[in-house]
Amino acid sequence: MRIFIAVAALVFAAMSITAYAGKTLDAIKKRGRVRCGVSNGLPGFSSPDSKGKWKGLDVDVCRAFAAAVFGDSKKIDVVGLSAQQRFTALQSGEVDVLTRNTTHTLSRDTALGLNFAPVNYYDGQGFLVRKALGVKNARGLNGASICVIQGTTNERNLSDYFRKHKMKYKPVVMENNNELFKAFMAGRCDVFSTDASGLAAQRSKTKKPSELVILPDIISKEPLAPAVRHGDDEWLDIVKWTVYAMIAAEEMGITSRNVKRMKKSSDPDVQRLLGVIKGNGKAIGLTETWAYNIIKQVGNYGESFERNVGKNTPLKLARGLNGLWTTGKNGLMYAPPLK
Amino acid sequence: MHYDASGKGIGISSLWRDVTKRKYTIQVLVLVGVVVLFSVLINIASDSLQKQNIASGFGFLAREAAFEIGETLTSYSAESTFGEALLAGLLNTMLVALLGNFLAVIWGAVVGITSLSHNLLLARLARIYVDTLRNIPLLLQLFFWYALITEFLPAIRDALNPVPNVYLSQRGMFFPMPEWGATHGWALVALLVGGIAAIFLYRWQKLRQQHTGQLFPFYRVAAALLLVPPLLAWLIGGAPVELDVPVLQGFNFEGGLALTPEFLALSLGLVLYTGSFNAEIVRAGIESVKKGQKEAAVSLGLSRSQALRLVVLPQAVRVIIPPMTSQMLNLTKNSSLAVAIGYPDLVNVANTSMNQTGQAIECIVIIVFVYLSFSLMTSAFMNWYNHMTRLVER
Ligand SMILES: N[C@@H](CCC(=O)N[C@@H](CS)C(=O)NCC(=O)O)C(=O)O
């Protein structure tokens, strides 16, 4: 029965999608809220706090959309989705956008009918093992049992990596991240493998994080980016430039605290970003204060990063690839000119 | 309107006016309606999928799958195609369905008969078992068994070793398997021959009993027929005893036969859950046979067990089989809960495939098609069975 409902929903969705094309923003305005699909509970990226309020780097992006569209970052509906559910949820119009550690790949961009916004976290797949196992690197994993989440790039990367190195492994695949992690912690698998950021998040949830180690090897590129349905350029533009605006703000040294003062900056770039010099808002189809509202209510990219996953959080992630390109280290965060 | 001599309408309008013809007319119209509706739906759907730039069609079945599956009955690997991946999933579903149903029917019969036992304690226990298990959602039971195996059995390095070469750990059960050789093939042939001989023997002794009234110790002879020939074949072949034993190598046991926690938890959960329904069916079936039948049989001189076997059960079976068949179908469909505990059944593999290819609709069509065929096959069997066992009036 469940299966029949699923087919009906999919076919029905497939038919109604055309009605949505080009109309996502209208639907959002009518509803009064932006609806984002996020992962079900990944501390630092998207997880509900003790009061049931969603928090995290990915949730911040969602709040930024609401700030841009409505001038109010609270106007969001957050839908927790498993890796397996996320694409049908987006395709069928259940959510307006995925801000859900989703890797940008060619097949998702094409065959799945998605469009990707700029990357909001550069990641790579890693391995989490118990310290007691005594494994030092990925080459020592021949013959291991590996827990991996269904419907992820991780499933395929594993098989590619082991094939390339002529090694063997036994996958244990589940849709539910929590059940799977429980099985790993119980000892069903030697290894839990997903994006390194996800490993850090999972580890932070355990009672004794120090008993688990993340191996040094990173076996894939996982550029995690917000995704929307193919065919609605207007909405894609808003999603794209929202992410860029947060990066640009950090580049220009604008933070949630100084943004009001920065309005008086003499720098034309800053003035354009904050809507003092008008034009950007009209071009993108929003108010001129769209970016100001994002920065004021959500903060720039660096603030969001430090608040959710940075050095002073349980995840303790370094900026690394996610630093600004201007720092002279290996940072990749770079926003095209907002003019 | 023209009527022929028998009063039946002729001409086109008779398709509607004539009662017998009308039945068919309506059916044909409904069928045409359904087909048209579906093709319109499919057309609209594929049209908008195209506009959305979402891939469609079944071409992906021939493409490389590039993901591993935990356990397969085929020689599947990441280099195989999506089609082969789905086939491996289908075979896993069938393995669980066949084995699960086999055990659930036996277990159900045992519990059902026990619940009618004169031993009150046993009967009570059987009833408690049935009432409890039937009322706990299967998904919870599966999680329970899975947790029991993975959390409470020892780690692989400390695996329990109850019998030499048999290991029990949170990674599953590991058994030795005979090293397959030609002798085993011959033993299998001998078993087959013995089986066929047993069938002929059954017919012969039945006929003889009908004609002469003489009884024949069929079960004992049949057991010998099944056991002795394979044993002889094995002895003649030099009694090979080489075993493929599981040995701990690196992370896991290699060799022998491995039953994973996913497979064990799923099978156990399905058998115990469906078994409780089957037990009720068996109990109701036996109770449906009037007490007078048994009393009459006993007063004719049959022993209690003969009365049960020859008089009560044949009548009960007629009542038992139809609901039992639908329980078998239920078990098969419920096996799709495998996804929750990571057993790679058809639905699990299809889920992975649909996310790798983005072709959710196609994958779901395949799933629906498979389960629909199971259902249709079952109801075909039911119809045939009802036809076979209907009371023949003489
Ligand atoms: N980036 C990968 C993996 C995404 C993924 O599902 N990651 C896991 C761990 S990093 C997750 O979010 N799990 C939480 C959940 O399933 O709710 C992809 O796009 O396929």
Percent above pLDDT 90 for chain A = 87
pTM of the shown model: 0.85
Binning pLDDT at 50, 70 and 90, where does residue A5 land?
A: low
Residue B24 is predicted with a pLDDT of: 84
Res. A2 pLDDT band, cuts 50 70 90: very low
Claim to verify: residue A216 and residue A150 sit in the same structural domain: yes
pLDDT over 60 (residue B38): yes
Q: Is the CB of A190 under 6 A from ligand 1?
A: no
Please tell me which residue, A77 or B388, carries the higher pLDDT value: A77
Interface touch A160/B66, C-beta < 8 Å:
yes
Model pLDDT, residue A3: 43
pLDDT band at B385 (very low <50, low <70, confident <90, very high): confident
- Indicate whether A118 and A249 sit together in one domain: yes
Q: Is the pLDDT of residue B9 over 60?
A: no
A170 touches chain B (CB under 8 A): yes
For range A260-264, the mean pLDDT: 95
Each residue's pLDDT tens digit, A195-222: 999 999 999 989 999 999 999 999 999 9
First vs last C-alpha separation in chain B: 46
What is the pLDDT at residue A10?
A: 58
Tell me, yes or no, whether B170 and B251 share the same domain. yes
Look at residue B330 in the predicted model and tell me its pLDDT: 94
Residue B28 pLDDT > 60, yes or no?
A: yes
In a domain, A339, yes or no: no
Q: Which atom of ligand 1 is nearest to the CA of A175?
A: 16
Q: Å from A90 to nearest chain B CA? A: 12
Nearest to B251 among A144, A173, A176 (CB): A144
> Which chain A residues contact residue B357 at CB under 8 A?
107, 111
The predicted pLDDT at position A19 comes to 44
Nearest chain B residue (CA) to A86: B355
Which residues from A are below 8 Å from B365, CB to CB?
A: 7
State residue B193's pLDDT score. 92
Instruction: Determine, yes or no, domain membership for A337.
Output: no
Q: Say if residue B29 is in the same domain as residue B149.
A: no
Residue identified by tokens 């309408």 is B9
pLDDT band at B263 (very low <50, low <70, confident <90, very high): very high
Which of A83, A122, A102, A184 lies closest to A319 in space, CA to CA? A122
Tally of structural domains, chain A: 2
**Given ligand 1 and candidates A90, A95, A107, A154, which is best to mutate, with the most ligand atoms within 8 Å of its CB?**
A154
Asked if the model's pLDDT at residue A4 lies above 50, the reply is: no
Residue B25 has pLDDT above 90, yes or no: no
Q: Is residue B62 in a domain?
A: no
CA distance B71 to chain A (A): 8
A173 has a chain B CB within 8 A of its CB: yes
Same domain, A34 and A183: no
Domain membership flag for residue A251: yes
The SS3 call for residue A56 is coil
Please, which pLDDT band fits residue B308 given cuts at 50, 70 and 90? confident
- For the record, the structure tokens of A283 come out as 């071009």
Residue owning the nearest CA to atom 10 of ligand 1: A198
Q: Tell me: the pLDDT tens digits for A104-135?
A: 999 999 989 999 999 999 999 999 999 999 99
Residue nearest to atom 17 of ligand 1 (CA): A40
Which of A:108-147 have CB within 8 Å of B? 108, 110-113, 141-145
Q: Which of B44, B336, B352 sits opposite A173 (nearest CB)?
A: B352
Q: For position A17, which CATH number holds? A: 3.40.190.10
pLDDT digits (tens, 9 = 90+) for A149-195: 999 999 999 999 999 999 999 999 999 999 999 999 999 999 999 99
Tens-place pLDDT, residues B56-114: 788 899 999 999 999 999 999 999 999 999 999 999 999 999 999 999 999 999 999 99
Q: Are residues A102 and A114 in the same domain?
A: yes
A112–B151 CB contact, under 8 Å:
no
Domains in chain B: how many in total? 2
Pocket test for ligand 1, best of A38, A40, A42 (most atoms within 8 A of CB): A42
Q: How confident is the model at residue A247 (pLDDT cuts 50, 70, 90)?
A: very high
Q: What is the pLDDT of residue A15?
A: 57
B28 and B143 fall within a common domain: no
Does B41 share its domain with B95?
Answer: no
Closest Cβ opposite residue B339 in set A170, A175, A183: A175
Closest CA to B46 of B35, B58, B37, B54: B54
Give the span between the Cα atoms of A196 and A176, in whole angstroms: 18
The pLDDT of residue B51 is above 80? no
Q: Do residues A90 and A208 both lie within one domain?
A: no
CB pairs < 8 Å spanning A and B? 161
Subunit contact B360:A84, Cβ cutoff 8 A: no
**Helix runs in A71-190, H state only:** 86-91, 106-109, 153-164, 177-186
Question: Does A320 share its domain with A175?
Answer: no
Q: What is the pLDDT of residue B372?
A: 92
Query: Both B171 and B252 in a single domain?
Result: yes
pLDDT of residue B1: 47
Q: Which of B91, B69, B90, B81 is nearest to B347 (CA)?
A: B90
Q: Which residues contact A1 (CB under 8 A, 6 or more apart)?
A: none
Residues A118, A129, single domain; the answer is no
For residue A338, tell me if it sits in a domain: no
Could A150 and B55 be called an inter-chain contact, meaning their C-beta atoms sit closer than 8 Å? no
Mean pLDDT of A240-264: 96
The rounded mean pLDDT for chain B is: 88
Question: Is it the case that residue B117 has pLDDT exceeding 90?
Answer: no
Q: Is the CB of A149 under 6 A from ligand 1?
A: yes
Instruction: Note whether B105 and B225 are within 8 A (CB).
Output: no
pLDDT at B35 (0 to 100): 86
Calpha distance A201→A267 (Å, rounded): 39
* Residues A262 and A231 grouped into a single domain: yes
- Residue A108 with chain B: CB contacts under 8 Å: 358
What mean pLDDT comes out for the span A238-257? 97
- Whether B166 and B248 share a structural domain: yes
Looking at the predicted structure, is the pLDDT value of residue B4 above 70?
A: no
Give the pLDDT mean for B314-323: 88
Helix, strand or coil, per DSSP, at residue B200:
helix
For the cut 70, the answer to whether the pLDDT of residue A336 exceeds it is: yes
Give the model's pLDDT for residue A18. Answer: 47
Domain membership flag for residue B202:
no
* Residue-range definition of the domain harbouring residue A108: 2-122+224-327
Amino acid at A198: G
Q: Which position has the higher pLDDT, A9 or A292? A: A292
Instruction: Name the pLDDT band for A50 (thresholds 50, 70, 90).
Output: confident
Instruction: Please report whether residue B321 resides in a domain.
Output: yes
- Structure token digits, residue B177: 């398997």
Q: pLDDT band for B6, please (50, 70, 90 cuts).
A: low
Q: What is the CATH number of the domain that holds B300?
A: 1.10.3720.10
Question: Residue B342 pLDDT > 70, yes or no?
Answer: yes
A170 and A265 within one domain: no
- Rounded mean pLDDT, A3-23: 55
Please check whether residues B264 and B139 belong to one and the same domain: yes
B345, B364, B389 - which closes a domain: B345
Structure tokens that stand for A125 in this block = 């797949």
Backbone φ and ψ for A301, nearest 5 degrees, come out as -60, -45
If asked whether residues B42 and B94 sit together in one domain, one would say no
Question: Nearest by CB to B78, which of A83, A163, A187?
Answer: A163
Parent domain of B21:
12-51
